Structure 1
């Protein structure tokens, strides 16, 4: 009778191990499917931020051009020493650095979202 109990618990243990393995495999599969989608969504959000920032950069460049023209019209010596022009240049530099950082983040997210190709996936002729 004790042998029957031993086999029953061993059988239950094997079933539990199979169940745990199946659960882990399912969780891994879901993670592998969700991660690229998450990276794609994050990349799209960064692209939207980059588009908005690009528009702000264009407006700041236009503003800088107007300030330089204004300083030139008033025949200001050392146009680039003007406080307004310096401030505009600093703002532009910060925006360009942010844009470069966003481009790097987008590239990183896109590389993470890209499916990893293996030799087994290619059809054989």
Structure 2
């Protein structure tokens, strides 16, 4: 192998990362990658916090239902059903439990509608 070929292999040429032909220094590339990672982590935490908030709303509805406070249970479970951040499973559980609360309040039509919607979504009644 000739000396010029060996020298050519050792030469490092940074890739062009910008459209205007300029190169991006390695430090800035690392900083940009870390900033992106931080933003993605923050977004994931925000989604996780919303899911926990929905679970808390569902649990408070269950507590009201268990305590016999059916009007409060309907309000709390309706908030979970109507919230766009609720998962389909959370919404189905809230519909099922709200149907039970409506039944206890004597509102048969609403109870049937909620229980039918919960069954249509594939939610199974809680056991135990």
More helix by share: 1
TM-score, length-normalised on structure 1? Answer: 0.37
Larger radius of gyration: 1
TM-score by length of 2: 0.36
